[in-house]
Structure 1
Amino acid sequence: MNSFIKTTLLLFLYLIAGFIQAGETAGATQTKKGSSKFSAEDRAIMQRSASSLAEKMPAPGLRVGEKAPDFTLPNAFGMPVSLYKELKKGPVVLVFYRGAWCPFCNLHLHELKKAQPEFVRYAAQLITITPQKPDRSAQQIRKDDYSFEVLSDLDSKVMKAFRLYYELDPELNEVYLKHGLDIAAYNGPGRTVLPVPGSFVIDKSGIVRAMHADTDYKQRMATSEIIKALKDL
């Protein structure tokens, strides 16, 4: 069992403490009476949306051996960060995540934070990308004490370039809103867009040497796999 799968067990602690937003806990979030807050219709919409996305994007993300496109994006404090400028310093572990509202994203980010000393051992740095606004990222950085860059893809160009972009199913968005999760409040007016969660190990020449992307947002690249890829560079 890899470290990320083990860490997902902590999700139950988040549930008990009430830290997880309603829209992402579907069948797991319970009312005081023990029944799901989500109706059968809600769960059916969630399932249809997940199946549709998997059908539309059977193999999301750049493949191993492809050259990563360069980009410049603002970080959480408004400073521009360019991929190829950072690659001059060493390999980059590039991770796309959905937003501070996503519990599985938060679990993965905490695992990545713990693994940073190992990344540094191989002269690699961690850079993350999200569609959420910089102020949301700044709040997240302060709350969770992240030392890595969190960049905001405000026009979705980078998500599209890495073949991870999709628009949230309108029916699913209505379910989220009904349960208090407003994606546009994080991303900006009218922006109910998300990336398929994806991780890429990119060498100094810009070539993707390892990757993982899955429309099932619960599946993430384990830090052990990232470290192995860095070791093999």
Structure 2
Amino acid sequence: MSLQDKLDAFKADFEAGKPPYNVPRSVIETMHRATAELLASGAAQKALKAGDKAPAFTLNDPEGKPVSSTDLLRKGPLVVTFYRGVWCPYCNMELQALQAALPDIHEAGGRVVAISPQLPSNSRKSVRQNELEFPILSDTHNDVAAAFGLRFELQDYLVELYTSLKNDLPAFNGDPSWTLPMPARYVIAPDGTIIYAEVNPDYTRRPEPSDMLPAIRKATA
């Protein structure tokens, strides 16, 4: 089953209010409204695209060790995925799919990092729960996400919804701002050029890990 098939199956059960979710229809409608507004805003069109230069970054891994994109790129192409947080089931399913594809990514010559605004303790939880062999780097205030053109601020009505659902982003992220990165996945060539980019304001839609393998192989060659 493809990643998107798994996401669609989860979404169908979640939005149908099946146990254990039991989500009221009003919550689903609010989520749909927020996604539609973000799509209509054109924010995704302003994000970095293939052919752009990726901003260099240094972020801490879950153990507090700094990880430099410049250092990683010396070893080959770099896959960067932006991860909303441990509370997001769609994001967790994407990380699991990337983990399953990790042997193919390594064989093609690539490495993987995920970037999230969440605190290191939550990244450790994500790594453990999803059995990841690649790090989730902590992007405080979503500064790196902003450099890629991905950071957006949640509308007040969405803040109220997240709070009611116990998704307290300031607590998860150690940051008072209610901001998130749009889900995005990039492949960056060793010279820093973005050679693959997928950005989608709809967090229920994610590209297949296999889609980026040709770009990784081409950059390695």
Query: Which TM-score applies when normalising by structure 1?
Result: 0.85
- 1:85-164 matched pairs, under 5 angstroms: 85-164=71-150
Using the alignment, how far apart are the partners of 1:54 and 1:218 within structure 2? 13
Q: Which residue of 2 aligns with 1:181?
A: 167
| Identity in percent | 32
Secondary structure, aligned partner of 1:180: coil
Q: Which segment is superposed worse, 148-157 or 185-194?
A: 185-194
Using the alignment, how far apart are the partners of 2:8 and 2:18 within structure 1? 17
Using the alignment, how far apart are the partners of 2:160 and 2:81 within structure 1? 27
The one of 226, 229, 232 aligned to 2:212: 226
1:76 aligns with 2:62: yes
Q: Show structure 1 runs of 5+ residues with no match.
A: 16-24
Q: CA deviation at 1:59?
A: 1.4
1:11 aligns with 2:10: yes
Once the two structures are superposed, residues 128-186 of structure 1 have per-residue CA deviations (whole angstroms, 9 ceiling, x without a partner) of 10010111001221222211011010132101100000111221121122123222221
Letter in 2 for 1:106: N
Q: Which segment is superposed worse, 222-231 or 179-188?
A: 179-188
- Contact kept, 8 Å, 1:94 with 1:129, in 2: the verdict is yes
Query: Which TM-score applies when normalising by structure 2?
Result: 0.90
Letter in 1 for 2:34: S
Q: Show structure 2 runs of 5+ residues with no match.
A: none
Q: 1:31 to 1:150 in 2, by over 3 A?
A: closer
Letter in 1 for 2:47: G
Q: CA deviation at 1:80?
A: 0.5
- Contact kept, 8 Å, 1:184 with 1:191, in 2: the verdict is yes
Q: CA deviation at 1:95?
A: 0.4
Letter in 2 for 1:48: R
